[in-house]
Structure 1
Amino acid sequence: MVSEFRRKKFQHVFTVFFDTNKSGNIDKKDFELAIANITKLRGWNAGDAKYNEVRDTLLKIWDGLQSRADSNKDGEVSFDEWVSICDEYAKNPTAAPEWLRIYSKFIFQLEDASNDGSIDSEEFSSVYASFGLNKNEAVTAFQKMSRGKSNVSWAEFQELWKEYFTSEDVNAPGNFIFGKTSF
């Protein structure tokens, strides 16, 4: 059974980052919209190498997510199916499905706009503001996530990622990895 606290965390990711068209379910259209939004944020146009990379990566994530989470095979991932797949990962994070490993790396690379191998507060908060979150709250989330440090490395990010999905501790630094300070 997934606790109410973890359900709220899973709801945040589901609603803000996956259900981009706000239909109540995740489907391929959400990923197509995310491709358009992310490439626009970065100034990449259809046909650009980076545009194609984002498109290919997000569609690979969709294919993996759908094949693992769409238990009733209706072409959509409901919130309950999402919670189930997140809880499956939380029970054994070392056996993360490929789509989730790709998604984690994608989010890190998206946040690392300078491509220097680490995320700083401005990079982090700018991405979350582009997803409609409050930029000041994202700055605060970064401070909590980074434990006051100026940067978060890929190795640190991976541990924070696992903590987000597994932790019941409301103060765990990983809880702030998606730009929100409370659930």
Structure 2
Amino acid sequence: MVSDFRRKKLLFMFKFLDKDGSGSIDKKDFELAAENAAKQRGWKEGDALYKECFDTIDMVWDALQKVGDSNSDGQVSADEWVTMWDTVSKSKADQDWFDKYCKFIFKMQDLNGDGFIDVDDFVNGSTKSGNTKENALEAFQKLAQGKSQISLTDFQKLWNEYFTTEDPNAPGNFITGRPSLD
């Protein structure tokens, strides 16, 4: 059973991914996310990073649909989303796509491509996603835990923590760029 705290986190991510506001996530939402990411970074159709973005989004959607779309209607509802993450957090079988998705999100946040997410990368990416600069700065401080940058290894731990922890003070809770979950 997912706690109210964890459900709140998962639904925040769900609403972020529900790009068309339909109340469910489908392949079109993921395609819109990929289009937005490519546009924000100036990638054009035919660019290697453009292709990687869309290929990764397709892979993640296929995995999410397989694991999360329990009624096979081509959409993942909020309830299916929460149930899916409860299942995925307890399963090693889903680790491959989860790790690929994590690495993709890390790459998307590493705007300067140096292999780390620094405060400028995080704040820039977070504000493009609708957060305020102040919120993004505060969230980065919680994520970085006194460091000036976040490595892929650090990010993988934070990413996993976001989806699994019940601890409201865990640094991974702030991966969305919000300094609190209120």
TM-score scaled by length of structure 1:
0.93
The within-5 A match list for 1:120-131 is 120-131=118-129
Q: Match for residue 14 of structure 1?
A: 14
Shift of 1:97: 3.5
The within-5 A match list for 1:13-162 is 13-16=13-16, 18-92=17-91, 94-162=92-160
Mapped to 2, the partners of 1:89 and 1:148 lie a distance apart of 30
Alignment-mate amino acid for residue 73 of structure 1: S
Cα deviation, 1:155-179, whole Å, max 9, x if unaligned, reads: 1111111211222221111111121
Mapped to 1, the partners of 2:11 and 2:132 lie a distance apart of 17
Q: Conserved in 1, the CA contact under 8 Å of 2:25 and 2:75? A: yes
Q: Match for residue 174 of structure 1?
A: 172
Shift of 1:69: 0.7
Shift of 1:135: 2.5
Q: Conserved in 2, the CA contact under 8 Å of 1:112 and 1:118? A: yes
Q: Conserved in 1, the CA contact under 8 Å of 2:111 and 2:125? A: no
Superposed structure 1 runs of 4+ greater than 3 Å apart: 94-97
Mapped to 2, the partners of 1:89 and 1:167 lie a distance apart of 13
Shift of 1:91: 2.7
Shift of 1:99: 2.5
Cα deviation, 1:103-124, whole Å, max 9, x if unaligned, reads: 1111100011122111111111
Alignment-mate amino acid for residue 14 of structure 1: F
The alignment's C-alpha RMSD in Å is: 1.3
Cα deviation, 1:7-41, whole Å, max 9, x if unaligned, reads: 1110111111x211111100011011111100000
Mapped to 1, the partners of 2:15 and 2:132 lie a distance apart of 15
Aligned length in residues: 181
Q: Conserved in 2, the CA contact under 8 Å of 1:10 and 1:83? A: yes
Shift of 1:95: 4.7
TM-score scaled by length of structure 2:
0.94
Q: Which residue, 152, 161, 164 being the options, matches 1:163? A: 161
Q: Conserved in 2, the CA contact under 8 Å of 1:64 and 1:98? A: no
Mapped to 2, the partners of 1:160 and 1:78 lie a distance apart of 25
